[in-house]
Structure 1
Amino acid sequence: MKVGPVGPVGPHPIGKTAARAPSLHEHETGRPVPFAELLRRHRDRSGLTQQQLADFATLSVRAIRDLESGRVRRPRRDSVGLLADALRLGEAERRQLHAAGGSPADPRAPLAELPEPPAPPGALVGREAELQVLLDQVTVHGHRLVTVVGISGIGKTHLVLEAARVLRDRGWRVGWHAPDRDPCRCGATRPTRPTRVNRATHATRAAGTIGSGSGSVSGLGGTPAPAADVTDDLARAIGDRHELLVIDGDDPPGSGGVDVAELLRRCPGLRVVVTGLAPRHLPDERVLPLTATAVPPEAPDMDVDHARLSEVASVALFLSHIRRSRPGFRLRDDNAHAVLRLCRWLDGVPRALEYAAGWCLVYPPELLLARAGRDSSLLSPPTGCTCHNLLRSLARSVDGLAERHRRVLAEVADRPYWTLADLAPLVPDPAAALHALLVQGLVRPVGAHRPERFTVLQLVRLLHESERTLTGPLTAADRAA
């Protein structure tokens, strides 16, 4: 029986057909097929010439000829993976091709299962619009790569976890990759979500497929694997079993990172949502800047509507955190204005609000407000660990800026507000500079009533003050660490 050739580009241009062998993987004697013969059979079945296969696999024609002639008996694992992608092999055929080539990391070992996204940490407050935009980007518009960008502590992880929960409820198959690259400097171990693997966990770990403890695919023993290995392991684990992969963490290609462009190329049915401090600047990337939550307008001490104040996103989030330790806390005349000013002073940054609310077990809001700006420990969790100090995290975002944009940020940091025109004397491309600062969430509009005026986040001001004095929570040694 003749089978019409079908391949990645449709029928063969000259209509060549190939007789289908009774078994693609065994000789009639039952012995395994050598790699050269197995590759020829797969190519013939796909109706591809050697040149076409070389083009699809991004290999040379000479390499294909050497493989099919048997001159190369043990091809590189990466080359076999490229050939399997170009031939559109299923998982079983892919493993058999690797086995025939004698790949070092034996693909016959059972594949890892990517962990599912963990449950969101509570209700998502004040992000309803951003959540809908993210869902629409993935589902309605079908974008394959969406990057959620913002400073550390702005709520990127919470947003993508909520989006993953919604999509899983709709029947989507969602995978999760969250490498732990930021160990606590005080020696404490950050809690991680265990990786869910199949029954052959130990065999797979022995093959170097699953990392330990991070809920991600990586090298053995927690050692970051090269980007190519991490990407390869992810591509093999995803196969055709996942429609969406959420990568939580700023992982540019490099040691332990993920080559997102390569991953999308190898998994044509996959869509990726990634969180990061800055865009990746990849083709067809859609960027969703995540800015601070809404803050209440300034009001006189005796003119605060408690009900309306509690509906403002930053205030609602602050109250939800403070009630974890003080369940009976309510807005009153003697604390409402302090809560209002705290939320404004913290710019509505979710993690800053969470830390401040934790300290309210010790200091009431009025006293906490009085200490704001003088006690940098209030920008760390009240657990004795200062490794998650927000200023240290914020320094990573500032360091990631282009040098000219860092100079602009330093110049306007002390101004209460400024306009695009004010940047013209500072940089040749003021619009591009303002765009970069807004996308990364380091500046924000003063308010809806003055959209043409912008201001630097209070946390950025504190960071610049700390660097000028070198006596605050961020020292030169901290920055180099």
Structure 2
Amino acid sequence: MHSTAVAAAVPLAQEATRLGVLIRAHRLRIGLTQQELADLSTISVRAIRDLEQGKARRPRPETLRLMADALRLGPRARASLEAAVQRGRATGAGWEQPPAPPTALHPMTGREAELAGLERELSSGAERLIHLVGLTGVGKTRLALAVAERLHAAGIPVLWHAFPGAAADHLGCAEGELAARVAVAVDELLAPASGVRQPGSGPGSGTAAGAAPSTPGAVDSLAELLGEQSVLLVLDGVPAGTARCDRLMGLLRACPGLRLLVTSDQPWEVPGERIFLLAPLEVPAAGVADTSAPAVRVFLDHVRRVRPEFAPTAADVERAAWVCRRLDGHPGALAAAASWLVVCDLPALCDSLGEDPLALLDHLGGRPGADGFRGVLHHRLDRLSPAVRGLLEALCDRAGEEFELAGVTALTGGGLAETGRLLRELLLSGVVRAAHEGGPSRFRVLGMVRAAATTRPRTAAAAAPATAA
């Protein structure tokens, strides 16, 4: 059958799948199976099947060239394929409606500046790989949900992939074939390098239990599905490890409209990665009882969920402000502390937190068998390099809560470059908070981290931080 006859055989009603019909007709014309075409073209069978079924409509130029060569197409037939690809790019991925992010269960408080910044960078495409990092429970998933909701409302499709153990403060993730394809492609992006990806089960947990491991070409298949359209892909709760930089960069190159938003405990440190450190909420200054402070608003909202009749007095507001300072404005810790008001009153809660700020936060650990939030913090400290752990322990031994860079430099005995590298690792780990307003930059070890550091073995570097630095 000549190329003109093949083109004429495509009904107008099937215009949306014209590319797939053309490929299948040319393959059958020369008597090839999908496997034989895959062998000749070096393209995966899955990619060929997806193209023929209309699931992928925007193959990359190299993919189209390899397939045309294997099908032995002339100039006119090649031009027909290219025209069909252009139609696919113009009509998008063919979804009946743009995929949407999960639905948040609770409103977000006190993250207006962070939300505006992330929305601006992702919607404009100024940043295409943003990595949202911070302590467990600091609100990374909730902020990612808010960003995804904003972009989806602006007409940008959102693909959401949650890893096992990710926060589940929302109504489910997308299911079905599209979600499964994203999960397989994500496995291919991350698993070979990190070695920590484990199959999950249930909605939103990644690959289904017992599913086969990722197959080569899954990332290419996803790239062909997304094409050039604007899409936000959210990877929530990524395990510790490093992405496959070559595959990650290849996906971003193949899909110029793709934006990637990642949430995890630590950055990847790959080219093009915009690290967005999410700190705890702002707390009122010592001696100030301000109900407009974000941390106080969050804490009182959680108190009202536990005790709807709660009408705070002036003394209650002062205690709430003290709780927020004691727990560093950490949203998850504030929610966990407020949950105890089912069995005690606010003064008793303050007394317990005054003795040990971590004693009531065990259920913040988030994993079966974990030894509570204290164990989560210990694990975070253990992941620090010995030199950085030594510096952290030395800072915890110092009197006072805040310190400046000059003081840390004097403590380590090193230069600005060495001290800056150590401080950067502490900041990215989330155990130290920075303040840059009103004079020289100031840094503070979180109170919960100080409490956790006193209950774990000390490192040799703590006794001689200058040598460690």
TM-score by length of 2: 0.68
C-alpha distance in 1, partners of 2:125/2:227? 23
Asked if 1:245 is matched to 2:233, the reply is: yes
The residue type equivalent to 2:360 in the other structure is L
TM-score for the superposition, normalised by structure 1? 0.66
Q: Judging changes above 3 Å, is the alpha-carbon distance between structure 1 residues 259 and 317 closer, same or farther for their aligned structure 2 residues?
A: farther
Q: Any idea what SS the aligned residue of 2:284 has?
A: coil
Deviations, residues 353-401 of structure 1 (Å, cap 9, x unaligned): 0000111222222111111133744113499978483222233433333
SS at match of 2:442: strand
Partner of 2:386 in structure 1?
A: 403
Query: Which residue of the partner structure matches residue 392 of structure 1?
Result: 375
Task: Kindly state the Cα deviation for residue 269 of structure 1 after the two structures are TM-superposed.
Answer: 2.7
Counterpart secondary structure, 2:102:
coil
Q: Is the 8 A contact 1:225 1:255 kept in 2?
A: no
Q: For the Cα contact (< 8 Å) 2:101–2:173, is it kept in 1? A: no
The CA distance in 2 between the partners of 1:85 and 1:198, in whole Å, is 22
Q: Report the structure, 1 or 2, having the larger helix content.
A: 2
Whether the 8 Å CA contact 2:138–2:279 is kept in 1: the answer is yes
Going from structure 1 to structure 2, the CA distance change for 1:2 and 1:112 (only over 3 Å counts) comes to closer
- Counterpart of 1:296 in structure 2 is 284
Secondary structure of the 2:146 match is helix
Per the alignment, do residues 434 and 461 of structure 1 end up closer, same or farther by CA in structure 2, a change over 3 Å counting? same
Cα distance in 1 between the residues matched to 2:243 and 2:127: 27
Verify: 1:422 aligned to 2:407, yes or no. Answer: yes
Moved more, 334-343 or 149-158: 334-343
How much has 1:131 moved relative to structure 2?
0.5
Instruction: State the aligned residue count.
Output: 388
Residue 442 to residue 375, structure 1, CA distance change in 2 (3 Å): closer
Relative distance call for 1:229 and 1:360 in structure 2 (3 A) is farther
Instruction: State whether structure 2 residue 447 is matched by structure 1 residue 458.
Output: yes
Q: Pick from 337, 352, 358: which aligns with 2:318?
A: 337
Q: CA deviation at 1:444?
A: 1.6
Task: State, as a whole percentage, how many aligned pairs show the same letter.
Answer: 30
2:463 corresponding residue in structure 1: none
Change (3 A) 1:28 1:133: closer
Matched, 1:274 2:258: no
Q: 2:172 aligns with which of 193, 200, 205?
A: 193
**Who is 1:412 aligned against?**
395
Q: In the TM superposition, what whole-angstrom CA distance separates every residue of 1:76-122 from its partner, at most 9, and x where no partner exists?
A: 669989x96453559x99xx9xxxxxxxxxxxxxx999974211232
String of CA shifts for 1:54-82, please: whole Å, max 9, x gaps. Answer: xxxxxxxxxxxx946xxxxx87669989x
SS at match of 1:87: helix
Secondary structure in structure 2 of the residue aligned to 1:280: coil
| Moved segments of 4+, more than 6 Å | 74-81, 111-115, 189-192, 208-211, 227-230, 254-258, 382-386
Q: Deviations over 1:9-67 (max 9, x none)?
A: xxxxxxxxxxxxx954435975643679958xxxxxxxxxxxxxxxxxxxxxxxxxx94
Deviation of 1:161 after TM superposition, in Å, equals: 0.2
* Counterpart position of 1:71: none
Aligned-partner Cα distance in 2 for 1:314–1:270: 34
- Write the distance in 2 (CA, Å) between the matches of 1:149 and 1:394: 15
What do residues 422-460 of structure 1 show as CA deviations (whole Å, max 9, x unaligned)? 222425511122222223321124685565332200111
The secondary structure found in structure 1 opposite 2:360 is helix
CA contact (8 A) 1:227 1:258 kept: no
Structure 2 SS opposite 1:467: coil
- Establish whether residue 361 from structure 1 lines up as the match of residue 346 from structure 2: no
Q: Distance in 2 between matches of 1:169 and 1:158?
A: 17
Offset, 1:180: 0.5
1:350 is aligned to 2:331 = yes
The gaps in structure 2 that reach 5 residues or longer are: 5-20, 51-57, 72-93, 189-198, 459-469
Find the aligned partners of 2:364 and 2:408 in 1 and give their Cα distance.
39
- Identify the residue that residue 275 of structure 2 maps to in structure 1: 287
Q: Say whether the 8 Å CA contact 1:419–1:454 is kept in structure 2.
A: yes
Deviation at 1:253, TM superposition (A): 5.6
Contact 2:404-2:442 at 8 Å conserved across structures: yes
In the other structure, the counterpart of 2:140 is: 156
8 Å CA contact retained: 1:310, 1:316:
yes
- The aligned amino acid for 2:172 is R
Matches within 5 A, 1:116-131: 116-131=100-115
1:41-60 mapped onto 2 (5 Å cutoff): none
Q: Provide the C-alpha distance between the structure 1 equivalents of 2:296 and 2:445, rounded to a whole number of angstroms.
A: 20
SS in structure 2 opposite 1:418? Answer: strand
